[in-house]
Amino acid sequence: MPPKAQKLDASSPDGKLRALSLDGGGFRGLGMLYVLDAITKAANARNRKPADPQLKPHEIFDIILGSSTGGLVAVLVGRLGLDCEKAIAEYKALATALFGTSRPEFMKTLLANKQFDAATIAKYDAAVAKLAGSAQDFYTDPVNNAKSGLGVAPLVPSFENSPYSSWKVHDVIRATTAAARYLPAYAPPSGPAGKEFRDAAYAGQTINPTITGKKYWDQNLGVLVNIGQRFSAVQLPDKATLTKADAKKFNDTFLNGAPEDPKVKTEETVLLYLKQIQTSQKTFENVKKEQLLQSAGVLQRLDPPLAPNDLGILELVDVFYEDEIKTEVQKWIASNQAQIDEIATKLVNQTKSEEDPDPNPNVLPYNPALDVQKPKEMLKYLNTYHVIFVIDDSTSMIMTDGYTAWDDNRWRQAQGSIGPIADFTFSNNVTSVDMGFMHYRRSNPFRGIQDSKNVLRVFQQARPPQDLGRIQRTPTGAVLKFFIDEAIKELNSKINNSEEYKKIRPTDIIVLTDGEADDDPKAVMGAARKEMDKNKHNHNYIGIQFVQIGNSSTTKLKLADMTKGEYGDMADLVPSDGTDLTPEKLTRIMLGGIHPTVRKKLNAQDLQ
């Protein structure tokens, strides 16, 4: 393996083994690499500053197991020591050399039950040889040999003296990708004489290499990250032996627009693939039964969508849908960032600095997203927060400062502010937000809004009535109490369940208001902080960002007062007239209420 990074500490936090297991199935490694990239970045966010040498996957895992295409990914990031960006480029180059760029042409060959011709295989061989380069010896100990398949490719130097130490990198890649549907069995020149190898799945072996590689991880294991193929999403008939009749139901999904070959029944091809999926599902059930993997947090299963969508779960080759898959996986990562952050805590130590958040040390074990380091890194963590927009729909929003005439200027400013703020929020992988008002549906806020268009639509519904007989005050404290109480209630309800407690998303409340509160928001924040201290909750679980609409100096002083004093670090203030929302100010709005230290890192003079 390539040498570890020097000087900076990338060792296991608890001194235990860190294992990565990569499932096989089709030629679908892109999504795995996107997820592995997210894990690696989360580890770097904990362990490195941006100017430091950044960790690569082989530096945060002690052993990497791979089956089939998972074996190829294991070679790329393990034996060759590539970072994920480079590994993705090399993976795409190999896939294109083998499958070309035309899905219809590939499907025509596949459905005709033909393997690739000699010219295509030679092109693929050349691409593999170019990738392997001077990295000749592999130092691997294949668990299975002869025609039973290359099931596992463990990547640790201790195998140098194994019976298979003569294997070359080129041979391992060719053997682990030798899927019978399009490539012949591979007899490595450097391997045992007369023995051929196939892709493990097509040789009747497991797609999931976890248990097959047990002898390598069954020792002092701290975490085993298993990246799957989303096969759990395929609803197979509940029977031991699948038939062509079962497979026929999946024909349209498998073809995905490709024409059938009239000479060959599509279900014959589909049946083979469904049997692999069935094997994968059963194998993972056995994985979960492993005693060492039953300890809390040891087994971390990640099952991202490695095809364009779950309807395309039977898609064999991912490079034909690269953009669609990247979008799907990024959405999946955004929804599962809390688990990825938890994994990072098991891979590397947290490197603290004077810039890091410094919550009360006497707190319960909390969501690791609360300890991220810098604003530009924190943006990608925004998706782990429960974002709530609170809009002031008091009468003052549609009147002049002296309450002498109707004037909706501030309401329009609020609209001009909420639009860009919502756009910015969703562009940073937040999948949904809640939205409440000080009057309109105050006890029944809008939940799970998923795009800026609907944020603006809801905003327009709450316009204050132009009626002096229905004056609407500014109960900022009461509305904050409603949402803060919800957040604290969730924290309190899971105090005795540490795993669920650590999954709770922190709350980021963004309040757009123009006026002085008619109640006491500061008292609400003080009571909330005391409740959090009493139950040992991390202070960073709740943050409030006030966005002042209008330019009243009196209002500014009142709002600013809420960011001072004993509990003032819970809140932040930024003014906005809807026309001055620079990227810097948007960053301040979205992050200023999350961590008090963020406000020290951003140039406040430019924002106020």
Under CATH, which number does the domain 376-606 receive? Answer: 3.40.50.410
Name beta bridge partners: 17: 221
Name beta bridge partners: 434: 388
Per-residue pLDDT reduced to its tens digit, 503-527: 888 898 888 888 778 888 889 999 9
As a whole number of angstroms, the distance between CA 315 and CA 307 comes to: 6
DSSP 8-state assignment for residue 435: E
Listing DSSP states for 79-103 in one string gives: IS---HHHHHHHHHHHHHHHH-S-H
> How high is the pLDDT of residue 376?
44
> How high is the pLDDT of residue 166?
66
Burial 112-122 (b: 16+ CB within 10 A, else e): eeeebeeebbe
As a whole number of angstroms, the distance between CA 21 and CA 213 comes to: 9
Per-residue pLDDT reduced to its tens digit, 126-167: 999 898 876 566 655 443 332 222 334 333 333 344 455 567
17-104+115-231+288-347 CATH fold: Cytosolic phospholipase A2 catalytic domain (3.40.1090)
CB 307 within 8 A of CB 253: no
Confidence band of 318 (pLDDT split at 50, 70, 90): confident
Residue type, 311: L
13 versus 182: the higher-pLDDT residue is 13
Q: List residues with catalytic annotation.
A: 68, 199
Relative orientation angle of helices 84-99 and 30-47, to the nearest 10 degrees: 170
70 versus 378: the higher-pLDDT residue is 70
As a whole number of angstroms, the distance between CA 299 and CA 287 comes to: 9
**How many percent of the chain have pLDDT more than 70?**
75
> How high is the pLDDT of residue 32?
92
Matching fold, domains 17-104+115-231+288-347 and 376-606: no
> Mean pLDDT in the chain?
77
Q: Answer yes or no: is pLDDT of 436 > 90.
A: yes
Per-residue pLDDT reduced to its tens digit, 283-310: 777 777 877 887 777 889 898 887 765 5
Q: Answer yes or no: is pLDDT of 322 > 60.
A: yes
Q: How many residues does the chain have?
A: 608
Name beta bridge partners: 446: 435
Domain chopping of the chain, boundaries: 17-104+115-231+288-347, 376-606
Per-residue pLDDT reduced to its tens digit, 150-160: 334 333 333 34
> How high is the pLDDT of residue 370?
66
> How high is the pLDDT of residue 191?
61
Q: According to the per-residue pLDDT averaged within each range, which of 232-246, 400-414, 437-451 is highest?
A: 437-451
As a whole number of angstroms, the distance between CA 595 and CA 608 comes to: 19
